[in-house]
Amino acid sequence: MSEAIAIPSEAASRYASALLQLAEEAKTLKTVEKDLKTLKGLFAKSTDLADMATSPVLADGAKAKALLAIAIKAKLGKLTKNFIGTAADNGRAGELTSMITAFEQELAERRGTESAVVTSAKKLTGAQIKSISTSLKKSLGHAVKLEMRIDPELLGGFAVKIGSKYYDATLKTKLEGLKLALKEA
């Protein structure tokens, strides 16, 4: 099933902006960027982690302790650990993934690049990825950072989401369109 890409809340965007500013001031931007990518991967791999972070049953302090233990185990940097602890203590643990997305978006904007999520039915080859990247750069006029996802339900082809734009070249969508056309005929 395709994963929805959430638009970060205003609070998540504020937290992300603050982290980005602190990382720049501390000259640890690359470390924080790497840490957040690791944390995003942990959330993507573990539904239990995501459930814990959003659970209304657990106290914010307990969430903070659990998330900090995970951050230590994952060897995340001091600034990232402080950020996670602050977000959790302030009742925002459930918004960490949204904060990471906001951080990535703001960082990409500052760098003059854009992020695109490419979802395909199976793993794309290096040549296919390069072709998509080149086409996007040509049509948008600037570099695009690709995030690859796999969704076997698409049957074939791929879909690209850049901001609010969605380009769908999947076999599943084409078949659904053909089915609809046959019903109308």
Structure confidence at residue 7 (pLDDT): 60
Structure confidence at residue 135 (pLDDT): 87
- Domains annotated for the chain, with CATH where assigned, are 10-108 (1.10.520.20), 113-184 (3.40.30)
Structure confidence at residue 181 (pLDDT): 82
CA distance 127 to 124: 8
Structure confidence at residue 26 (pLDDT): 93
Neighbouring-strand partners of residue 167: 160
Structure confidence at residue 8 (pLDDT): 66
Q: What is the pLDDT of residues 89-99, one digit of tens each?
A: 999 999 999 99
Mean pLDDT score, 133-148: 83
- % of the chain with per-residue pLDDT over 90: 45
| Element containing residue 118 per DSSP (H, E) | strand 114-120
166, pLDDT greater than 80:
yes
- C-beta separation of 38 from 97 below 8 A: no
Q: pTM surpassing 0.75?
A: no
Mean pLDDT score, 66-77: 94
